Amino acid sequence: MILDFPQLISQWETLPVHVFTAHEKGEILTIGAGTASGAVSGAIQGTASGAVTEHWKWPEQSNVDLSMDWKKAARITAGIDVGSVSSQAVVLLDGKLYAWSSVRTGSSSPDSALKALNQALKNTDLTLEKIPYVVGTGYGRVNVPFAKKTITEIACHARGANYMGGGTIRTILDMGGQDCKAIHCDEKGKVTNFLMNDKCAAGTGRGMEVLADLLRIPIQEIGPLSLKVEEEPPPVSSVCVVFAKTEAIGLLKSGWPVEKVLASYCLAMAERVTALLNRIGVEKDFFITGGIAKNIGVVKRIERILGISALNSALDSQIAGALGAALFANALLEKEERGKS
Amino acid sequence: MNTTRSLQDLIKPFRDWYKNRHSYAETWKENHSQQVIGMMCTYVPEEILYAAGMLPVRILGGHEPQDVTEAHIFGMFCPFSRDALAQGLKGKYSYVDSIVLSHSCLHFRQTFTSWKMHLPLKWSYYLPMPNQVQSPYAKQEFQSEVKKFKEFIEKEIGKTITAEALKQGTSLMDKNRSLLRKIYELRKKENPPITGADAVYMAVTSQFISKEDHNTALEALLEKANEFTPSRETGVRLMTIGSENDDVQFFEMVESLPATIVCDEQCAGSRYFWNPTIDAGDPIQTIANRYVDRPPCPTKDYPERKRFPHILNLAKEYGVQGVILMQEKFCDPHEADNPALKRFLEENGIPTLTLEFDSTNPLGPLKIRVEAFLETLSAEELFS
């Protein structure tokens, strides 16, 4: 069933737009020109019970290590990574991981930062006022009001990866919501060189979300589904979010099964980031951070193209930036204390 | 505090000229009743134009979105060539009587050709400047071209340009070059009183403000220069390398991080004024030699890349800790040099960051790249 929200879009009803809708198996039901109201009702998919399913939505998460006691810690620090799509908070006790969260970024960076921190601390009685040093990072880093210092996510991801995967890591690929970065670092996790994608968001997490919505496949299932092809299809010709969407519809219409379309999109994304990695050079060990690191369809393809395996970590790949920021906060607080004594 | 204010007062004329360049030229024209000449490359021997009493102004872009050059210049030509033409088509340079292009790159030649076809001019002149400046015949060849250009101008003004006038034009230009060099000397200090953005204002305005006025403002600043100490955190010492990069917003953003741009190798900067003339007897030969010998544009830097050792010398003299390679989008001559230049600098222990520039630039994405680059050069306290 498709929901209609005429009350929401009454003022748009006369605007001509193109409308695409597809059903679960990917067959195109309607393609053509219509009004904005049709486009909106097509974009927001409903279930028979009336609840809205937004397939792009990945679950917000948090965790706390209850075996640790923050009251016994000498130094409590936090890192907040306000990204373009998701925000993370990490809290450390004496430099050890205590609590973390990963939530969706809202329209306000300060609110998203606070939301992430509250989420991380929700099962504890620790509060923001008791954290003396917070470092902000990410796209919204300058808008973390309670951060004492901001550090770029490039430095933070390298430091976080160094904690998560160890000092042997030399190359990091961070695949975020709206950009990706290839980073080289030394044994301490200090950045020695880096490259970012050009200024558009093609082939990043946001593109994957758009595809999930278009194909009505929960975003976590895209990776595994994309590997269910007998033969690897050619990549879509563009990972531009807009063009890829159009191309995916064309491929579905020409009879491609959904998993083949997904394989084609994941491959294009993998090729784009490996081109970035090859420009900087890939040195062992290799580590992937960011949301796309959770997409096995992209990760496996990157590993195949590079002929190298990415190190695994028990920790969530998305918290690397916030973790690095919290580790820097710990180093800075320690330095402050040394200065006082 | 007083010192800072007076430094800002002395820099203010350059900032004002940068913003109000067109009204300056219009007023100049009214007061002098002489031609204003649009020069389309820094290889134009302005000495001749000053000797003829004219005002040469370099045609530059406006760093604003525009939609008027689509029909004139290919999309894969550099944004600067389009932005500069757009300023003409939009009537910003309506006071320009005539234009001169010295031969350099194909992209800007299209700006010249389209300008000539579509905008009212008294005359236009294409001045062949040998690309192979390393040839033993380059000076002789360019001398003959400068001579032809002088004769052309003489016909235009209806009188002879005397040897004395040529010498005056040359010494006016040389004085400006030497004053700008003194300004750059200040940037060698451990705490440079002049920011990179200030230097851009000064170097770029020298390309379109009458050298007499420009010299007066530079002298006023230099007179007090030794009293100044910066009131800002100076941070990492950077050098910028590029072509026509005068987007001051970028320089100001970099220096707010903080960092200080202590030197540059750009045609909107040091490359324009670096070397003075050396007397060769014949005043025309003196002028011609100066352009053949100047720090070359990459279009003219072959078969040997003479620019590279010059850049390394600058980096060493100015205590540069990192270089930002400012790649103007689609500027092929620079793009062809940059991979080799990057390797060359890094082999000599100077880290680089390459950034791509358009006429208008998104500061946010550029900022994160520069910030991260600065973190690789410092931020030791985070790892102790």
Q: Which of A17, A35, A53 corresponds to the end of one domain? A: A53
Whether A140 and A32 map to the same domain: the answer is no
Q: Residues of B with CB below 8 A from A174's CB?
A: none
Whether A265 and A157 map to the same domain: the answer is no
Please state the φ and ψ torsions of residue B217, each to the nearest 5 degrees: -65, -40
Task: Please check whether residue B64 lies inside any domain of the structure.
Answer: yes
- The vertex-B152 CA angle with B149 and B156, nearest 5°, equals 135
- For B320-344, write each residue's pLDDT tens digit: 999 999 999 999 999 999 999 999 9
State the average pLDDT over residues B124-151: 97
Q: Would you place residue B245 in the very low, low, confident or very high pLDDT band (cuts 50, 70, 90)?
A: confident
Of B362, B368, B381, the CB nearest to A152: B368
CB of A333 within 8 Å of any CB in chain B?
no
A32 has pLDDT over 50: no
Q: Find the domain containing A236 and state its range.
A: 170-310
Q: What is the mean pLDDT of chain A?
A: 84
Task: Please check whether residue A341 lies inside any domain of the structure.
Answer: no
A39 has pLDDT over 60: no
- For A73-124, write each residue's pLDDT tens digit: 999 999 999 998 899 999 999 999 999 999 999 888 899 999 999 999 999 9
Task: Please check whether residue B96 lies inside any domain of the structure.
Answer: yes
- For A176-192, write each residue's pLDDT tens digit: 888 889 999 999 999 99
User: Higher model confidence: residue B296 or residue A5?
Assistant: B296
State the average pLDDT over residues A132-141: 92
Whether A74 and A92 map to the same domain: the answer is yes
Q: Would you place residue A48 in the very low, low, confident or very high pLDDT band (cuts 50, 70, 90)?
A: low
* Probe site for chain B from A199, A200, A334 (most B CB atoms < 10 A): A199
Q: Which of A11, A26, A53 corresponds to the end of one domain? A: A53
Question: In angstroms, what separates the C-alpha of B352 from chain A's closest C-alpha?
Answer: 9
Question: In angstroms, what separates the C-alpha of A192 from chain B's closest C-alpha?
Answer: 6
Rg value, chain B, Cα:
20
- For B273-300, write each residue's pLDDT tens digit: 999 999 999 999 999 999 999 999 999 9
Distance CA A31, CA A20 (A): 5
ipTM of the complex: 0.85
Q: Would you place residue B270 in the very low, low, confident or very high pLDDT band (cuts 50, 70, 90)?
A: very high
Q: Would you place residue A4 in the very low, low, confident or very high pLDDT band (cuts 50, 70, 90)?
A: very low
Distance CA B21, CA B213 (A): 13
B5 has pLDDT over 60: no
Whether A294 and A192 map to the same domain: the answer is yes
* Probe site for chain A from B256, B378, B382, B384 (most A CB atoms < 10 A): B382
For chain A, percent of residues with pLDDT exceeding 90: 62
Q: Which of A53, A69, A89 corresponds to the end of one domain? A: A53
Q: Residues of B with CB below 8 A from A198's CB?
A: 356
Instruction: Please check whether residue A259 is in contact with residue A223, taking contact to mean a CB–CB distance below 8 angstroms.
Output: no
Whether A117 and A180 map to the same domain: the answer is no
Task: Please check whether residue B332 lies inside any domain of the structure.
Answer: no
Domain count, chain B: 1
Q: What is the DSSP string of B55-109?
A: EEEE-----S---S-TTTS-TTS-HHHHHHHHHHHTTTTTT--EEEEES--HHHH
Number of Cβ atoms within 10 Å of the Cβ of B382: 24
Per the structure block, which two tokens stand in for B177?
């070059």
Whether A40 and A70 map to the same domain: the answer is no
State the average pLDDT over residues A316-341: 93
Among chain A residues, the shortest Cα distance to B352 is held by A193
Distance CA B192, CA A155 (A): 28
Distance CA B128, CA B44 (A): 10
Give the side-chain half-sphere CA count within 13 A for B356. 12
Whether A101 and A187 map to the same domain: the answer is no
* Cβ separation B383–A154 shorter than 8 A: no
Task: Please check whether residue A328 lies inside any domain of the structure.
Answer: yes
* Probe site for chain B from A154, A179, A333 (most B CB atoms < 10 A): A154
Please state the φ and ψ torsions of residue A289, each to the nearest 5 degrees: -120, 175
For chain B, percent of residues with pLDDT exceeding 70: 98
**pLDDT at res. A18:** 40
Q: Residues of B with CB below 8 A from A155's CB?
A: 372, 375, 379, 382
Does an H or E element contain A134, and which?
Answer: strand A133-137
Of A153, A189, A199, the CB nearest to B362: A199
CB of A47 within 8 Å of any CB in chain B?
no
Task: Please check whether residue B316 lies inside any domain of the structure.
Answer: no
- For B176-207, write each residue's pLDDT tens digit: 999 999 999 999 999 999 999 999 999 999 99
User: Higher model confidence: residue B113 or residue B1?
Assistant: B113
A25 has pLDDT over 50: no
**pLDDT at res. A199:** 65
Task: Please check whether residue B75 lies inside any domain of the structure.
Answer: yes
Whether A130 and A250 map to the same domain: the answer is no
**pLDDT at res. A51:** 63
Q: Would you place residue A53 in the very low, low, confident or very high pLDDT band (cuts 50, 70, 90)?
A: confident
3-state DSSP percent of chain B in helix, strand and coil, to 5: 55, 10, 35
A33 has pLDDT over 80: no
Instruction: Please check whether residue A100 is in contact with residue A114, taking contact to mean a CB–CB distance below 8 angstroms.
Output: no
B158 has pLDDT over 50: yes
Q: Find the domain containing B30 and state its range.
A: 2-165
State the average pLDDT over residues A6-25: 40
What does the DSSP 8-state code read for residue A310?
B
Distance CA B61, CA A69 (A): 61
User: Higher model confidence: residue B188 or residue A7?
Assistant: B188
How many helices (H) and strands (E) chain B has is answered by 15, 8
Q: Residues of A with CB below 8 A from B384's CB?
A: 331, 335
- For A141-157, write each residue's pLDDT tens digit: 888 899 999 999 999 99
* Cβ separation B372–A194 shorter than 8 A: yes
Give the side-chain half-sphere CA count within 13 A for A317. 19
* Cβ separation B375–A154 shorter than 8 A: yes
Q: Would you place residue B1 in the very low, low, confident or very high pLDDT band (cuts 50, 70, 90)?
A: very low
Whether A185 and A302 map to the same domain: the answer is yes
CB of A332 within 8 Å of any CB in chain B?
yes
**pLDDT at res. A54:** 82
Among chain B residues, the shortest Cα distance to A187 is held by B383
State the average pLDDT over residues B78-99: 97
Please state the φ and ψ torsions of residue A264, each to the nearest 5 degrees: -65, -40
Question: In angstroms, what separates the C-alpha of A35 from chain B's closest C-alpha?
Answer: 30
A35 has pLDDT over 80: no
* Cβ separation A196–B368 shorter than 8 A: yes
Q: Whole-model pTM?
A: 0.87
State the average pLDDT over residues A183-207: 87
Does an H or E element contain A181, and which?
Answer: strand A180-185
Alpha helix segments (H runs only) across chain A: 6-9, 36-43, 109-120, 153-165, 205-215, 219-226, 241-253, 258-280, 296-306, 320-340
State the average pLDDT over residues B94-103: 97
Query: Which SS3 state, helix, strand or coil, does residue A49 take?
Result: coil
Distance of CA B207 to CAs A78, A185, B100, Å?
Answer: 51, 43, 14
Give the residue carrying structure tokens 């009183």. Answer: B193
A14 has pLDDT over 50: no
Task: Please check whether residue B227 lies inside any domain of the structure.
Answer: no
Distance CA A280, CA A284 (A): 13
Whether A189 and A304 map to the same domain: the answer is yes
Instruction: Please check whether residue A102 is in contact with residue A60, taking contact to mean a CB–CB distance below 8 angstroms.
Output: yes
User: What CATH number does residue B12 fall under?
Assistant: 3.40.50.11890
* Cβ separation A155–B368 shorter than 8 A: no
What does the DSSP 8-state code read for residue A46?
E
A22 has pLDDT over 80: no
Q: Residues of B with CB below 8 A from A190's CB?
A: 376, 379, 382-383
**pLDDT at res. A242:** 80
* Probe site for chain B from A151, A152, A194 (most B CB atoms < 10 A): A152
* Cβ separation A331–B382 shorter than 8 A: yes
User: Higher model confidence: residue B37 or residue B230?
Assistant: B37
Task: Please check whether residue A340 lies inside any domain of the structure.
Answer: no
Of A9-18, A133-142, B228-237, give the lowest mean pLDDT range.
A9-18
Question: In angstroms, what separates the C-alpha of A234 from chain B's closest C-alpha?
Answer: 28
Return the closest-CA partner of residue B245 out of B173, B331, B129, B351: B331
Task: Please check whether residue A339 lies inside any domain of the structure.
Answer: no
Task: Please check whether residue A10 lies inside any domain of the structure.
Answer: yes
Instruction: Please check whether residue A204 is in contact with residue A178, taking contact to mean a CB–CB distance below 8 angstroms.
Output: yes
Distance CA A294, CA A297 (A): 9
Domain count, chain A: 3
Question: In angstroms, what separates the C-alpha of A91 from chain B's closest C-alpha?
Answer: 17
A50 has pLDDT over 90: no
Task: Please check whether residue B379 lies inside any domain of the structure.
Answer: no
For chain A, percent of residues with pLDDT exceeding 70: 84
Task: Please check whether residue B265 lies inside any domain of the structure.
Answer: no
- CB interface of A with B, residues 191-210, below 8 Å: 191-194, 196, 198-199
User: What CATH number does residue A248 fall under?
Assistant: 3.30.420.40
Question: In angstroms, what separates the C-alpha of B381 from chain A's closest C-alpha?
Answer: 7
What are A185's strand-pairing partners? A191
A323 has pLDDT over 50: yes
* Cβ separation B356–A152 shorter than 8 A: no
Q: Residues of A with CB below 8 A from B375's CB?
A: 151-152, 154-155, 191
State the average pLDDT over residues A315-324: 94
